[in-house]
Amino acid sequence: MTPEQAMLLSDDEKLAYFYRVRVKHPRVTTVRDDLETMMLPGSGTDIALLIGPTGAGKTTLGESLVEEIIKAHKSELVNDLSFIPAIYISAPASGEKRFSWRIFYIELGRLLKEPLMDKKQETRLQDGRMSVKSVTAGSTVAGLRMAIEDALRFRRTLLVVVDEVVHLIRGANENDRLVHMDALKALTELKGVNLTLALIGSYDLYELMTLSGQFARRCAIVHFQRYLSGTGNDADKKAFRNSLGTLQEYFPLKGIPDLTEMSDELQYACVGCVGILKDTLQRMLTFAVRNKGRWTDKCLFKALLTEGQIARILEETLKGEQNIAKAIFGSGSLNAESRTSEKVACR
Amino acid sequence: MGCQEIYELVGTDPSAVIPQRSVLASLKPLGAGTPHCESLRSYYLTLAHMHHVSPRIMAKDIIIPRLGLERFGHNFQEWNLPLFNGIGAVPEKWAELLSSLTGQAGLDDLTLTALRPYTSTKRLMIDMKRWCPLCFSEAARDGRVYGHLLWEIAAVSVCPKHGVNLVSNCICNNEDSQSNFSKVKPAKIYLPGICSSCGRPLVETSMNMTTAASQREIKRAQIVGDMLTDIERLKEGTNGIDVFLNNAVRYFAKGNATAFAKMLHIDKVSLHNWIHRTHLPSLYQIVEIALTFQCSMVDVMLGDRVAFGEITLDIQDRTQKPFRTNKRRKLSKNVVKRRLEALLTDIHPISLTSAVAKIGMGRRRLRRDYPDIERRILQRNQAYRTSKQKSMVEQRYDLFRQCAAKLMSEGIEPTTRLVGERLGGNLLIIKGKNKLACHAICEEVIRSSQEDRGRQR
C-alpha cells in the first residue's frame, strides 16, 4: 500500500498501517551484518547479546532478522515441510519470583509447531535401560526440554531470537543466572543442531557476560547504539534526519509540516533512538486522528516524552554505554596497554 | 527528502511469513526400495519417540481424530496389531495420513498394501516381534535403529543379509525381574531396537542368541526380500496369479490341472479357486510356488515375463515338505488327555496359552473337549500366581521394615518417602493401597523403638 492510498483509510486502519511501518536505517544494517556474521556455521559464536538503550529498535530488528532469514530460505521451505529456519520469542514474565522455563518451553514449542506440548514424556537412561516417565499431570519441565531439543533438531532451526531476556535475570541470584544461561547455552550445543541464539535486552544483559569465562567465550555483545547528537556526530545526525524523513513519508495524514527541519530537537527528545521516534510519531498520529484528522502543533508536543522520562532513559543509557565500552563485538585489540583486565588480574 | 535505499520500508513483505508446516517431523524412512525396508510400525514408533509422546497418546490425539475413527472404547493401539504393516485398510489409511502429517511421500511402501490384489491375509504377518541383532548392530553404527518390514512377514524366519535365524526373545524373558526388591520397574517404552519390557538395547541382550539359518530358509527370505525391492512393479501390474498358473498348467502338465496340483502338493480345489480368482493364495504359498519354479514372487503374482522354457522345477524337496507344513497335526483324544494330565502334575503350573501351545492344539478345542482339565489348569495357575504375588509382597514388606528400622537406628524417623528413597526410587509397594500398609509399618517401627528406649531407661 502506498502512502497516498493510506491517506484514504479509516482512522483505525491508519493507526494500524503506521504501526506496521518499520524503517531500516544505517544502525540496523550494521548490527544486522554483525549478527549475520555470527550466524555463519563455525563462526565460534553461539550466542549474540544484542544490547542497546530502550527504544533503539532492538525488537524491530529481531523481528526483521527472523523475516530476512525466512526469505533467504524460501525455496528450502517449499522442499522441506518441517523446516523452520528462525523464530522470534519473547521471554515470558511468569508473574512469579523466578523465571518459568515451563512457560518458555511451551511457547517455544508453539512457535516450533510442536504438537501435544502438554503430554510430553521424559525419557530416562539408567543402568543401560531406557524408560519413560508416564505423563499423569501434564508434561514435566524435563520432558518439555527434551521435546524442544528434538524439535530444534528436526525443524533444523538456525536462529532463535529471544527478546526481553531481562526476565531471565531479574530477581535471580548469580547462581540462578548461571543455571539459566547454561540452559540456553546447552540449546546451541545440541548434536545435529546449528543454532545461534540472539538474546535481546537492555544494558542489564552485560552482567551475563561476566558470569563465567566459558560463557564470555561463547557469546558476543552487539551494541545497538543510539544516534549521538552534539558536535562531531554529523553522520549520526544525518542518519537520524533521514530516518525521520522516511517515517514522515509513510505518515498517513495530510498537512503536516516538514519534521526534518526540527530533526535536532527531535533527536534530543527521542534520546537519539529511532524506536522512540517511531513511538512518538505513532502517538502523534493518534492525537491527530482524535482531533478529527486535523494537525496542530499540540499533537506533537503531547506525543513527546517528558523531561523526566528523557533524563531517566539518558542516565541508564550513558551508564550502560560506559559499562560495555570494552566488551562490544569488534572492539578487541592486540595492544597490551589497553588490557586493563589483565592488569587487574595480575595485581 | 531524498531518502537513500537504505531507509526502505520493511515488514510488509508477505513472503517473510513461514508457510504451513508439517504437523510431525519429516522423518525419512530407512531402507525404502530395498529388502531391508523399514516397517510402518517402526516408523510410527520412532516418530512418536521423536516427539516425546507415547505412541498411544499420539494415536489418540493426532491420528484417530483425523481418521474419523474416534469412538467410545477405541483402544488406540492399532499400531501394535500384527496386521498393522499388512494389506488391510488400517495400514493404508495410516500410511496416507502419516504421509500428509510428515510431508514424506510413499509411506505406503512401508506396508504390504501393494500385495492386496494378489494375496490373502492368511498367514501373512506374524504375531510376535522378531529381529536380527546383527542388523540392529549395523543400524546403530549408521545412525538410527529400525525394524524391518521383512521380519514381520510370516513366511520369513531368517535374516537374508546375515544368514541367521531371527530372534524373538530378549534376555529379560529368562530373568526373574521381580526378585530384586529395589529394582526400578521401568515404564514401557516402545522403540525399535529397545526391549519394551526391560528397556535395554536388543543388540546387547540378544546378540548371543543368534543361530545359523538353513539354506532353504535363507533362500525363502531372499525371495521375499526381492519382492519388497520390486514392489513398485506390483502397484502397476494388472494381471494376477491366475495368468501364471494357467500358463504353468498348460506348459508343465499339458493342461491337466489335477496333475499340476499334485506337482505343487496342493489340492485341486485350491488350484481351481486360485485360477478362477475366487480365492487368493497366501503369501507363504506364493513363496513356495516361486521357489518351485525358481522365479521371483513378482513374476508369479503378475504372471508375465516368465519364460517357462528356462525354468527347472525344484520339486524334489516338495515331496518331503508339502505346502501345509504349518498345519497342526490332529492329535488323538487319548494322547491329548495324557499330555494335559501330565501338565497338571508338573511342578510349575503354566497358563492356558502355554498349555495349548505345548500340546499343539487350539484353545477352543481344549474348552470344548476337556472343560474340566481346562478349569483345573486355570485354577492351578491362578493359585500359583496369587501365592507368588503374595510372597513377593511379603518379602517387600520385610525389606521395607528392615530399612525403616535401619533408619530409626541412625536416628532418623522413618517415613514412607524416606524409606522409598533409601530403597532406590520407584517402588511399587508404596503405591496405591499398599501405601497405607507402609505407613503402618513406619509407625510400628517408631513405636517399637520408643518402647525399647523406655525399657532401657
Taking only the tens place, the pLDDT of each residue in A202-256 is 888 887 777 777 777 778 888 888 998 877 788 889 999 998 998 888 888 888 8
Interface of A with B in 41-70 (CB under 8 A): 60, 63-64, 67-68, 70
Please tell me the distance from the alpha carbon of residue A306 to that of residue A299, in angstroms, as a whole number: 14
Q: Which of these CATH numbers, 3.40.50.720, 3.40.50.300, 3.40.50.2300, 1.10.260.40, describes B237-327?
A: 1.10.260.40
Q: Residue B88: is its pLDDT beyond 70? A: yes
Task: Please tell me which residue of chain B has the smallest CA distance to A240.
Answer: B7
CA distance to A99, A111, A139, A173, B14, per residue, from A105 (Å): 12, 10, 11, 22, 27
Please tell me the distance from the alpha carbon of residue A54 to that of residue A224, in angstroms, as a whole number: 10
Residue extents of the structural domains in chain B: 40-115, 133-209, 237-327, 333-385, 390-456
| A82, A122, A245 member nearest B3 (Cβ) | A245
Contact A82 B103 (CB under 8 A): yes
Please tell me the distance from the alpha carbon of residue A89 to that of residue A111, in angstroms, as a whole number: 8
pLDDT in tens, A128-181: 888 887 776 778 888 999 999 999 999 999 999 999 888 888 878 888 888 888
Instruction: Indicate the pLDDT class of residue B312, thresholds 50, 70 and 90.
Output: low
Q: Supply the DSSP symbol for B86.
A: S
Cell of B60: 489418540
pLDDT at B341: 86
Cell of A160: 532463535
Q: For chain B, say whether A146 makes contact (Cβ under 8 Å).
A: yes
| B22, B50, B199 member nearest A81 (Cβ) | B22
> A39-114+148-223: what fold?
Rossmann fold (3.40.50)
Residue B65's SS3 state is helix
Of A44, A39, A54, A16, residue with least CA distance to A321: A54
pLDDT in tens, B112-153: 999 988 998 888 888 888 899 999 999 988 888 999 999 999
Q: How many contacts (CB atoms, under 8 Å) link A and B?
A: 155
Contact A116 B58 (CB under 8 A): yes
Interface of A with B in 227-266 (CB under 8 A): 242-243, 245-246, 248-250, 260
* Cα Dmax for chain B: 109
Contact B4 A242 (CB under 8 A): yes
Q: Which positions in chain A touch B20 (Cβ < 8 Å)?
A: 81
Q: Quick one: how far is CA A102 from the chain centroid?
A: 21
Contact B9 A22 (CB under 8 A): yes
Instruction: Indicate the pLDDT class of residue B36, thresholds 50, 70 and 90.
Output: very high
Please tell me the distance from the alpha carbon of residue B40 to that of residue A343, in angstroms, as a whole number: 65
Cell of B436: 497405607
- The pTM of this model reads 0.75
Distance from CA of B95 to the nearest CA of A (A): 17
Residue extents of the structural domains in chain A: 3-23+228-305, 39-114+148-223
Q: Which positions in chain A touch B189 (Cβ < 8 Å)?
A: 123, 130-132
The residue type found at A69 is I
- Helices B241-252 + B283-293 axis angle, to 10: 40
Contact B200 A22 (CB under 8 A): no
Contact call for residues B85 and B156 (beta carbons, < 8 A) = no
Cell of B182: 529395589
